[in-house]
Structure 1
């Protein structure tokens, strides 16, 4: 049963009058399906990180909102994303992470593809011992490639294929963080972890965008980077988040610190910024490290957070790196009870979306407004086509 379109008129009002998204946007499978296309497929969404396929030939199967994908580093050292299906009968090609030594071979009828997606072998396609057929043009039957782009160590994808170029769609964010447009080195196995959270993915975005909750949810962090040390970051229709004027560089037991990124201006001596690149990538930058959290929506009320930490150099102090990962995991775990509590609250039938603090909730309201704008645009397009 398809739900009627939700009323988003109150969401798009000025923040002093606006209400949040209706409950259905956090609980209803039909709305989740609508948002899948309008918010995640039609734009540039985060899928993985390049470190997931660190070496030539590395390949990992992924699922993105039910779509089977294959992340691979091809023979030319290019990271690519393909639909993980054979062009013959739609069989899954790779079912577990592995290194492709030769070709990607379909386990069903043994059609083979090069790591760049080209169809290179079709055994017996023309009959026993006949590996070609006039009706099968290999040049037209390569793997279906999903449009992708690499930035901040993240593999971004545009499933629909018709979004503006990544550099154009995210030009203002790229300009804001131009100083960090340089090689980032993933910290390795001890610099990545996942968190399974019983909430809609949008609640993770909303919580990350604002600093209002710091004194009560993150008292340790707030003890030195206080609520009053933070500022809002708002770029309508593109991204939102928060920054702090007080960043305390982590120090190891022997006084060691991470090296800084080269070429940073004086602002970053004490500042750090935390931005959500709409829709689903939470980014943080500091003088000596960066992180990316890729939100994987698993359903209306279930999200997996993939956390990755990056550094200015390939080799960093093991103890310090582990301390940093532990510290960030503690912070992110502190948020779980909040987003899960809000998720349960969305089942209160009388909840009207809630109100926003005009002084403190600007970044969150901006995200709600973006969601509503994208949904309204898709609905208008669909209606015009009827």
Structure 2
């Protein structure tokens, strides 16, 4: 597939204008989408879920990325492993449900059976010279970053995951993902290219006009503003916000909770960014009333006012960690003009629904925001199809992270395309 688009794609890359949106084929071409699957989703660390997705031995989760299906399983030693979801006999899919629990992994076609370590333990009628040791499941590289699960389909995954993990583990570990549970998952199909979903996430230029729920807990100033286009009152509010970031950040750091901004979005292969930011009003959680949605706080937290830790990764995820709950997002292309946005909400594993938390309160802000964003992505996709579309300029004040996403994407294609 790569040779079909190699020359025109290289031309598109060469004439990419920094600070501007990508040309239309990046959003509409099935050939470029296949290249994205091969080179971006096939060679980088892809966020796929959390350790509580497979809490007990035998628990299995399936993730599909393009033509590849990957099963993630908790083994009997409580380790988490990933394998290609392909039987080594005649290639049938092993697990068909998104989540299940098994004793062994049994192929429904001819009953070849694998243990939770991926070893072939049963295969009838194969003859005395057959070596089952040569027919175990094919492993997929998997890493857990303080409970966030990333896979890499490449035989040679980027080595800088360790660099990201060394920085991010102290930020995420206090939220104790291992002792959380997933209380809700939303799979939303957005009618747009996956890059439009990611670009939309990387800015809040659109927030005040489109996200009435999200802008209750979140300060729009946290995502940039233009100082020459605000009045005196708005400027004072922005200055107050910056002071809160400074004061609360220092307080959280002093309490052993890393909070400072780290931005490596476009200067690493495994690009990422993080920062802990204040929450407005009561300052506790990303909820409609800005109070905690779960009375059972995460980890060892006793202070509910810990702001929101945001963590972004290239190419496909973002996450929000509060004192009481966690929201994670993964983006997976379905085709050139459809994208799966998968959102998971986690609370403490001992929190009881109806006693410690109300589900609708936990998920309300981001269910509404995701629906609104899906509409916006669809509008952008419709525009990219038009003959009138041409790359437009990003705001230097509020769309800096969008530009960094595109810089990273173009840079990685340029590095991985055949010369």
TM-score (norm 1): 0.84
Aligned to 1:99: 101
SS in 2 for 1:7: helix
- 1:163-204 Cα shifts (integer Å, max 9, x gaps): 234642524751672554633444444x22221211111112
Aligned to 1:368: 406
Q: CA deviation at 1:261?
A: 4.0
Counterparts of residues 188-207 of structure 1 (less than 5 Å): 188-189=182-183, 191-207=184-200
How has the CA–CA distance of structure 1 residues 220 and 361 changed in structure 2, closer, same or farther, with 3 Å as cutoff?
same
1:352 matches 2:402: no
Aligned to 1:112: 113
Aligned to 2:141: 147
Aligned to 1:129: none
Q: C-alpha distance in 1, partners of 2:45/2:174?
A: 20
Return the match for 1:294 from 326, 330, 339: 330
SS in 2 for 1:353: coil
Q: C-alpha distance in 1, partners of 2:92/2:222?
A: 54
Single out whichever of 4-13 and 291-300 deviates more from structure 2.
4-13
Q: C-alpha distance in 1, partners of 2:292/2:298?
A: 19
Aligned to 2:375: 337
Aligned to 1:80: 81
Q: CA deviation at 1:92?
A: 2.0
How has the CA–CA distance of structure 1 residues 224 and 63 changed in structure 2, closer, same or farther, with 3 Å as cutoff?
closer
Q: C-alpha distance in 1, partners of 2:34/2:186?
A: 27
TM-score (norm 2): 0.78
1:249 matches 2:284: yes
Q: C-alpha distance in 2, partners of 1:278/1:227?
A: 23
Q: C-alpha distance in 2, partners of 1:180/1:344?
A: 42
| Cα RMSD, aligned residues only | 3.0
Aligned to 1:68: 69
- Say how many residue pairs are matched: 367
How has the CA–CA distance of structure 1 residues 153 and 322 changed in structure 2, closer, same or farther, with 3 Å as cutoff?
farther
Q: CA deviation at 1:302?
A: 0.7
Q: CA deviation at 1:223?
A: 4.6
Q: CA deviation at 1:81?
A: 1.6
Q: C-alpha distance in 2, partners of 1:45/1:294?
A: 8
Aligned to 2:415: 377
Return the match for 1:239 from 272, 275, 284: 272
How has the CA–CA distance of structure 1 residues 304 and 158 changed in structure 2, closer, same or farther, with 3 Å as cutoff?
same
How has the CA–CA distance of structure 1 residues 261 and 230 changed in structure 2, closer, same or farther, with 3 Å as cutoff?
farther
